[in-house]
Chains A and B, each alone.
Chain A
Amino acid sequence: KNEVEQSPQNLTAQEGEFITINCSYSVGISALHWLQQHPGGGIVSLFMLSSGKKKHGRLIATINIQEKHSSLHITASHPRDSAVYICAVSDRNTDKLIFGTGTRLQVFP
């Protein structure tokens, strides 16, 4: 079983829809990261959080430490949001990043 699991693996949506991507992890963490990888391949950090909720524009990330679960929400989705979204956790014991396999999102006009 992977230490970081994301769901769904693939997601398609119509422009304007509200999107949720989930991440569950099994290790003790110091922080959780949400990353975005565009078709060109570059990876960009969206959020880093250790508790509660963060918002940036149409993106919202939440984390529940007790349940070892995080969600990434996209409101009013747009075709330019099409990308792979990757969840990663900073393992508290090893101080290393453990990555999920990503969620591929396609938003159609």
Chain B
Amino acid sequence: NAGVTQTPKFQVLKTGQSMTLQCAQDMNHEYMSWYRQDPGMGLRLIHYSVGAGITDQGEVPNGYNVSRSTTEDFPLRLLSAAPSQTSVYFCASSYERQLLYNEQFFGPGTRLTVL
């Protein structure tokens, strides 16, 4: 199993550009999520999905869109990049819908810089 994969690993954007960060998992996990990691702060939840066709907002959803058309893929779209979105983005997945007793599997991260 490849686990959770993310592309690209690094990206530089100009303010106002749009792009999609890709995330895929091959473990048949129902729950997938996107986090951003900023210096001096814990990981913060952007959006999450409890199954194909179902998405919801996390703590910091503004400026981002997601969709979940398949169990495997959960892309994150930046609609109009801003310097405040400079961050490291992690995709994560877990087997069941609820986090109650579920180990989280993280992707390798995407380091995004917005100029």
Contact = CB atoms under 8 A, between A and B. Distances in A.
Contact of B105 (A45, A99, A101, A102): A45
A41 B88 contact: yes
Interface centre among B99, B100, B105 (most CB of A within 10 A): B99
Interface in A25-81: 30-31, 33, 35, 40-45, 48, 50
A61 B92 CA distance: 22
A20 interface: no
A31 B41 contact: no
Identify which of A2, A41, A86, A98 gathers the most chain B CB atoms within 10 Å of its CB. Answer: A41
Contact of B42 (A30, A40, A44, A101): A101
Given A41-B108, A42-B108, A42-B109, A99 B43 contact: yes
A45 B100 CA distance: 15
Interface string A6-21: 0000000000000000
Contacts of B45: 96-97
Contacts of B40: 101
Q: How large is the interface on B (under 10, 10 to 19, 20 to 34, 35 or more residues)?
A: 20 to 34
Given A86-B42, A96-B58, A99-B43, A44 B100 contact: no
A44 B109 CA distance: 12
A4 interface: yes
B34 interface: no
A95 B98 contact: yes
Given A30-B99, A88-B104, A101-B41, 8 more contacts: A4-B42, A41-B88, A43-B92, A44-B106, A95-B99, A97-B99, A97-B104, A99-B43
Interface of A: 2, 4, 30-31, 33, 35, 40-45, 48, 50, 86, 88, 90, 95-102
Closest 3 CB pairs of A and B: A99-B42, A43-B106, A99-B43
